[in-house]
Amino acid sequence: MPSILIVDDEVTFAKNLAKYLTRFGHDVATAATVADGLQLFRSRSPDVLVLDYRLPDGTGMDFIEQVRATDESVHIILITGYGTVELAVDAMKAGANDLLTK
């Protein structure tokens, strides 16, 4: 099963999503900031990254740029409560594979 890293500052959302994905056999880790997420990303090398757009210490776009500089294979799903067509286009250009609205 693919390993998954969830980076979202809404702790309840992240915990519930992690619990749900774990039921299907996924190895799931969570982080609430860009800094913590990058540290976990480097140490765990997940197959899938579920990433919130707005984080306390940066944006999901910042995270995507740093990840894509070293890893082209990870599948990145950007999630946001503020979805727009412009954001979707920018996210895909930055290297996200999917954009979901919360």
Does pLDDT of 80 surpass 80? yes
Total-model pTM: 0.94
Tell me what pLDDT residue 82 has.
80
Please check the confidence at residue 83 and state whether its pLDDT lies above 80: no
pLDDT for residue 87 is more than 90: no
Confidence of residue 85 (pLDDT cuts 50, 70, 90): confident
- Is a pLDDT exceeding 80 seen at residue 12? yes
pLDDT at position 39 over 80: yes
Residues 6+ apart with CB under 8 A from 31: 5, 6, 7, 37, 39, 40
Contact by Cβ (8 Å): 5, 31:
yes
Domain ranges of the chain: 3-101
CATH of 3-101, one of 3.40.50.2300, 3.40.50.10950, 3.20.20.120, 3.60.40.10: 3.40.50.2300
Q: CA-CA distance, 53 to 58, in Å (whole number)? A: 9
